[in-house]
């Protein structure tokens, strides 16, 4: 979806009613957009036995999880708490893939007890796993194929010194452990980073996975991770999912023939499913003019949406209160005592104090990366779905800020 379509979709939301009922700042999610993304993805890969494991670290609200569950998605969980959230929402344990990094073996044991699919991403844990479970519990192995996708270096996970996955160059070591401990490896996994633009990078990485896969006898699935790019800027180029679908499925099905068994093709997108469905609505507290800059200071900050500061991510900003105002150049900044610039030298329809702005692509890694810095509460989350507005997480209060602190005699 382009940013222009995002604007149209935004204008179809009764945001006046939402801000009147729930105030700002608040996250608003469009349920139908999530469904649309899910259907587009599964359709592109329909010629294979495709399974989508939604990476819930992107957005963990149980209402969002339920929408995806109803579509037929499973989950990719990166912590025990995410596993528990999935089970709590009603996902079956076998629909959940547990893909942690740098955790202790005791967490793997707990996840095995919860019955979820384990994905192991280092040799030491694989050895411990084999030693404890032998052939009694299957596991997936996360391979790092060392394919580096383009774009932002903060979100690449495939380079040679990445902490994620087991290097493809250590495959022989993996195979020795698997053989010695009789481990049933039922899946191979890779997740190279977050910005895969063209099919050729994906194909290149999948060839590496296919080459590795022939060494394992009990495979049921291959998991190609994520990396589907969505539009952030007006003229952004995004992953051509349909082209990718055609190419990957035909190569995948060919591989299944070579392997002698019909495997499932797994993906674990986060951003692709939920990013564009979300908007962060904020209000403009102050306009401040310095010698060189016009600042629009909003009632939110890096405590609510950290991507612009953490990843240098571009998030489109739209003036809901004055969409036809004469465009002027602004720096949109937050209210946190830290440089929290949402947009620098950005052309936006004239902003006045009190205006409501919408920050785009706030559906993924918005709320889940938010925090209480400056002792400020997190915003509310609102769902717009089937023509209905629902508050799906209340705004935090001062009581939430202090509830885990234990007063002591000082
Ligand atoms: C974060 C993550 C994803 C999802 O990435 P997106 O860029 O949001 O699609 C998928 N798999 C794993 C293992 C992850 O850590």
121 CB near ligand 1 (under 6 Å) = no
377 CB near ligand 1 (under 6 Å) = no
List, in sequence order, every residue forming a beta bridge with 279; answer none if it has no partner: 28
225 CB near ligand 1 (under 6 Å) = yes
> Ligand 1 centroid to 76 CA: how many Å?
8
- Across the chain, mean pLDDT equals 94
- Name the pLDDT band for 19 (thresholds 50, 70, 90): very high
The answer, yes or no, to whether residue 340 has pLDDT greater than 60, is yes
**Which amino acid residue places its CA nearest to atom 7 of ligand 1?**
194
274 CB near ligand 1 (under 6 Å) = no
Kindly state the helix (H) or strand (E) to which residue 187 belongs, with its residue range.
Answer: strand 185-189
Tokens describing residue 192 = 């190279």
Note the pLDDT of residue 29: 98
List, in sequence order, every residue forming a beta bridge with 166; answer none if it has no partner: 143
269 CB near ligand 1 (under 6 Å) = yes
The model's pLDDT over 135-184, given as tens digits with 9 standing for 90+, comes to 999 999 999 988 765 555 455 556 777 888 999 999 999 999 999 999 99
Note the pLDDT of residue 154: 52
> Ligand 1 centroid to 228 CA: how many Å?
10
Note the pLDDT of residue 78: 97
* pTM for this model (two decimals): 0.96
SS3 content of the chain, % helix, strand, coil (to 5): 35, 25, 40
Catalytic residues: 337
Domains of the chain: 31-271 (3.20.20.10), 275-402 (2.40.37.10)
How many C-beta atoms surround the C-beta of residue 370 within 10 A?
A: 23
From CA 397, how far away is CA 410, in angstroms rounded? 26
> Ligand 1 centroid to 53 CA: how many Å?
10
The model's pLDDT over 181-211, given as tens digits with 9 standing for 90+, comes to 999 999 999 987 656 666 777 888 889 999 9
268 CB near ligand 1 (under 6 Å) = yes
- Which residues have C-beta within 8 Å of that of residue 141, sequence separation ≥ 6? 119, 120, 121, 126, 166, 174, 185, 187, 188, 189
Ligand 1, residues 269, 273, 274, 310: which to mutate, most atoms within 8 A of Cβ? 269
Backbone region of residue 370 per phi and psi (left: phi > 0; alpha: psi in -120 to 50; beta: other values): beta
> Ligand 1 centroid to 193 CA: how many Å?
8
57 CB near ligand 1 (under 6 Å) = yes
> Ligand 1 centroid to 383 CA: how many Å?
23
Note the pLDDT of residue 282: 98
List, in sequence order, every residue forming a beta bridge with 117; answer none if it has no partner: 97
Section 324-337 average pLDDT? 98
State how far the alpha carbon of 55 is from the alpha carbons of 75, 82, 161, 268, 364, in Å: 6, 10, 23, 6, 10
Ligand 1, residues 187, 194, 229: which to mutate, most atoms within 8 A of Cβ? 194
The model's pLDDT over 304-323, given as tens digits with 9 standing for 90+, comes to 999 999 999 999 999 999 99
Alpha-helical (H) ranges within 192-264 are 199-213, 241-259
């Amino acid at each position: 979806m382009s940013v222009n379509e995002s604007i149209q979709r935004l204008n179809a939301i009764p945001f006046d009613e939402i801000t009147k009922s729930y105030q700002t700042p608040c996250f608003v999610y469009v349920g139908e957009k999530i469904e649309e993304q899910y259907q587009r993805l599964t359709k592109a890969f329909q010629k294979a036995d495709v399974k989508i494991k939604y990476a819930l670290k992107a957005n963990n609200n149980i209402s969002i999880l339920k929408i995806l569950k109803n579509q037929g998605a499973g989950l990719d969980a990166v912590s025990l708490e995410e596993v528990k959230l999935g089970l709590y929402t009603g996902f079956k344990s076998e629909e959940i893939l547990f893909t942690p990094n740098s955790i202790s073996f005791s967490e793997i044991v707990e996840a095995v007890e919860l019955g979820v699919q384990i994905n192991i991403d280092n040799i030491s844990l694989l050895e411990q796993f084999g030693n404890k479970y032998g052939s009694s519990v299957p596991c997936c192995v996360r391979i790092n194929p060392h394919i580096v996708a383009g774009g932002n270096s903060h979100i690449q996970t495939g380079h040679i010194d990445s902490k994620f996955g087991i290097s493809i160059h250590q495959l022989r070591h993996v195979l020795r452990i698997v053989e010695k401990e009789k481990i049933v490896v039922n899946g191979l996994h890779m997740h190279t980073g977050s910005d895969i633009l063209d099919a050729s990078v994906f194909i290149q990485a999948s060839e590496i996975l296919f080459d590795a896969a022939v060494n394992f006898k009990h495979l049921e699935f291959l998991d190609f991770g994520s990396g589907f790019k969505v539009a952030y800027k007006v003229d952004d180029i995004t992953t051509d999912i349909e082209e990718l679908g055609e190419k990957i499925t035909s190569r995948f099905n060919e591989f299944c023939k070579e392997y002698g068994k019909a495997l499932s093709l797994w993906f674990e997108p986060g951003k692709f499913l939920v990013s564009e469905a979300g908007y962060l609505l904020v209000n403009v507290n102050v306009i401040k003019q310095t010698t060189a800059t016009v600042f629009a200071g909003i009632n939110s900050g890096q405590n609510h949406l950290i991507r612009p500061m953490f990843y240098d991510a571009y998030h489109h900003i739209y003036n809901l209160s004055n969409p036809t105002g004469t465009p002027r150049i602004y720096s949109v900044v937050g209210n946190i005592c830290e440089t929290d610039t949402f947009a620098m030298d950005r052309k936006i329809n004239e902003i006045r104090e009190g205006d409501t702005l919408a920050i785009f692509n706030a559906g993924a890694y918005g709320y889940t990366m938010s925090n209480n810095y400056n002792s400020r509460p997190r915003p509310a989350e609102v769902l717009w779905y089937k023509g209905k507005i629902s508050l799906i997480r209340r705004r935090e209060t001062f009581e939430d800020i202090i509830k885990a602190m234990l007063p002591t005699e000082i």
